[in-house]
Structure 1
Amino acid sequence: MGESLFILTGASRGMGAAIAEELLQPGHVLLCLSRHTNTALQERASAVNANLTQWPRDLAEPAPVADEVEAWLRAFDSARFDAATLINNAGVLTRIGPMDECSTAELSVALRVGLEAAMLLTASFLRATRGWRAMREGRCKVLNVSSGLGRRAMAGSAPYCAAKAGMDHFTRAAALDESHRAAAQGLPGAAIVSLAPGVIDTDMQTHLRGADGSGFPDQRNFVQLKSSGQLASPHDAAVRVLAYLSRDDFGSHPTADVRDA
């Protein structure tokens, strides 16, 4: 195959950084969007002569970023890439506890970064790639990194649960849109999946383990996950997520889990 394009949000640390590192391969063009650039990632890209661009962008103000990404995509020749993929990985975890203990600003940022940005970037990606050869040949994908907390409510985490549940459901609806468009036009649409990546040893887990148990009854469960060695490393989680992305049946189930057979 020729070149493949990837756009990844939340690439500065944790699983996002691990995904970015795995994507630094010959023939890949990678754009990373995070509040801060990742120096180690840039050094790695230089060492392996990989095509990496990093944009320091705050997805708490997602509309101008989505417009900028769309303009960037439209500047490419529509036949250049064999495949194109958007990975919406960015998210925000607010303070742990009842929702009314979060400020208005904290709640707004959680939903803007975790849900609104993913929706706007998905729409921009689909608009810009609609006429691409990769889209016509069925090799455009959107992978939204979700969470089990989008499917199971947990006390003390209402903003995060809401963002991930919204991500799951907008993915289902967008997948239906692509299916109907494909049927009407006789051409493949984009494959869209909201994927739960399992439990990962990241800053989020540290945040959860250190929370005040009086407002977070599940705190002990997260301590147990760590002590019993049940957390995947960011690298192992990234490998599993990318393996799911490369599956032949990617898109057949709009909401999925890396642990699905």
Structure 2
Amino acid sequence: MTSPSPVVSKAIVTGHTRGLGAALSEALLARGFSLLGLARTRHPLLAQRFPSAVNEAEIDLSDTRSIEAWLAEGTLQRFLQGARQVLLINNAGTAAPIGPCSLQPPHEVGRSVVLNVAAPLMLSSAFAAASSNLPDRRIAHVSSGAARNAYAGWGIYCATKAALDHHARAVALDGERAMRVATIAPGVVDTDMQTALREVDEGRFPSRGKFVELKQTGQLSSPQQAAEKFIEYLLSDSFGQTPTVDLRSLPAQ
């Protein structure tokens, strides 16, 4: 009698080279996932530490033409072959531009909207099509409290994260076979984005003091702490039952 084949689990993570994306990638690799990382550059160490499990593609996710060209190569479909459980984590994003509407350079607005919204939605559609025959497929958008609470000077970030929340709500209604989708807000994580918020002029971002205080009082979680909680929830049976989730609202494990 032959033993059953092991479940092959694969994950795609955008922005996997630093911050939360790097921590999410390491947490998945530690759980035996194969990883496809998408970013402008390669991670300096992951491929050395997990040579048989890490695949990387250098792609500018703020440029729709770059995304379209990469999707046309068929790398996504080839990576998903042979899998049973597949994940897409749309993590890459930017907080820029920061400031009132009149001070936001239109070209920065455009690049931010592509990176924060167009790229996740394009990849989600391609992922859904490429995985349509698989028994367990999950899409997680990294969201933020800014999707649900407006901040002066942060209109583009608030709007783009809110778009991901509403995308998850709508896709959940599609009822596609074996596909779960949700946005996950990881809480306030000690990343480069938080550093940028603390350094911006208060005239452009009136809430700057709040984020300085969070850092000074030790209220930021580390990327590793946030990633562990994020992955635990993403792999749980609860994922997908609610289209928008804040990790801070979940009961302690």
Bigger shift: residues 23-32 or 87-96? 23-32
Matched, 1:240 2:229: yes
Q: How well do the aligned residues superpose, as a CA RMSD in angstroms?
A: 1.7
Which of 96, 99, 102 matches 2:101?
99
Matched, 1:34 2:39: yes
Distance 1:74 1:120, change over 3 A: same
Distance 1:151 1:66, change over 3 A: farther
Which of 160, 165, 170 matches 1:163?
160
Distance 1:12 1:54, change over 3 A: same
Gaps of 5+ in 1: 182-187
Rounded to whole Å, the distance in 1 between the matches of 2:35 and 2:18 is 16
Q: CA deviation at 1:41?
A: 1.9
Distance 1:128 1:77, change over 3 A: closer
Which of 241, 246, 251 matches 1:252?
241
Bigger shift: residues 213-222 or 17-26? 17-26
Q: CA deviation at 1:233?
A: 0.5
Q: CA deviation at 1:67?
A: 5.9
Q: CA deviation at 1:156?
A: 0.9
1:44 counterpart letter in structure 2: R
SS at match of 1:192: strand
Q: How many residues align?
A: 244
Taking structure 1 as the reference length, the TM-score comes to: 0.88
User: 1:75 is matched with which residue?
Assistant: 78
User: 1:220 is matched with which residue?
Assistant: 209
Matched, 1:54 2:27: no
Which of 122, 141, 144 matches 2:141?
144
Q: CA deviation at 1:44?
A: 2.1
The answer to whether the Cα contact below 8 Å between 1:63 and 1:117 also exists between their aligned partners in 2 is no
Rounded to whole Å, the distance in 1 between the matches of 2:31 and 2:215 is 36
1:2 counterpart letter in structure 2: V
Taking structure 2 as the reference length, the TM-score comes to: 0.91
SS at match of 1:213: coil
Rounded to whole Å, the distance in 1 between the matches of 2:63 and 2:105 is 17
Gaps of 5+ in 2: 1-5
The answer to whether the Cα contact below 8 Å between 1:67 and 1:124 also exists between their aligned partners in 2 is no
The answer to whether the Cα contact below 8 Å between 2:80 and 2:131 also exists between their aligned partners in 1 is no
User: 2:3 is matched with which residue?
Assistant: none
Q: CA deviation at 1:255?
A: 0.6
Matched, 1:88 2:85: no
Matched, 1:201 2:190: yes
The answer to whether the Cα contact below 8 Å between 2:90 and 2:141 also exists between their aligned partners in 1 is yes
Bigger shift: residues 37-46 or 63-72? 63-72
Rounded to whole Å, the distance in 2 between the matches of 1:219 and 1:169 is 27
Bigger shift: residues 190-199 or 66-75? 66-75
The answer to whether the Cα contact below 8 Å between 2:190 and 2:220 also exists between their aligned partners in 1 is yes
SS at match of 1:214: coil
2:143 counterpart letter in structure 1: S
Rounded to whole Å, the distance in 1 between the matches of 2:105 and 2:40 is 21
Distance 1:85 1:69, change over 3 A: farther
The answer to whether the Cα contact below 8 Å between 1:14 and 1:203 also exists between their aligned partners in 2 is yes
Bigger shift: residues 156-165 or 66-75? 66-75
Q: CA deviation at 1:69?
A: 4.1
The answer to whether the Cα contact below 8 Å between 2:60 and 2:66 also exists between their aligned partners in 1 is no
Bigger shift: residues 166-175 or 36-45? 36-45
1:75 counterpart letter in structure 2: R
SS at match of 1:93: coil
SS at match of 1:39: coil
2:14 counterpart letter in structure 1: T
2:77 counterpart letter in structure 1: R
